[in-house]
Amino acid sequence: MRGLDPDEWYCSVNIGIDEVRMMYNHLDYSIKMWPGSPARPIEEQEFLWEMKEKYFAMLMEYNFSENK
């Protein structure tokens, strides 16, 4: 995924595990339903995959840290 550019604006968001699960499921659905290029830019699909990977990592971190 893109690195954080110190000259660009970005924010942090605090969400619970239920929201993480819902967002992961929505990203999965969006990837499955993505109409393809040229209907949508290819960068959009790449972004969806990157975000899905990040949310998967959040789910795994939760499972590792909370299910002892």
Domain count, the chain: 1
- Residue 6 in any domain: the answer is no
- Residue 1 in any domain: the answer is no
- Range(s) of the domain holding residue 44: 17-66
Mean pLDDT of 48-60: 97
- Residue 22 in any domain: the answer is yes
Written as one letter, the residue type at 9 is: W
- Residue 53 in any domain: the answer is yes
pTM of the predicted model as reported, rounded to 2 decimal places: 0.82
**Tens-digit pLDDT profile for residues 13-42:** 999 999 999 999 999 999 999 999 999 999
Looking at 9-41, list the stretches that DSSP marks H as alpha helix, in order from N- to C-terminal side.
Answer: 17-33
- Residue 25 in any domain: the answer is yes
- Residue 8 in any domain: the answer is no
- Residue 28 in any domain: the answer is yes
Question: In whole numbers, what is the pLDDT of the chain averaged over residues?
Answer: 92
pLDDT-based confidence at residue 1 (cuts at 50, 70, 90): very low
Q: What is the pLDDT at residue 44?
A: 95
At residue 64, what are phi and psi to the nearest 5 degrees? -70, -45
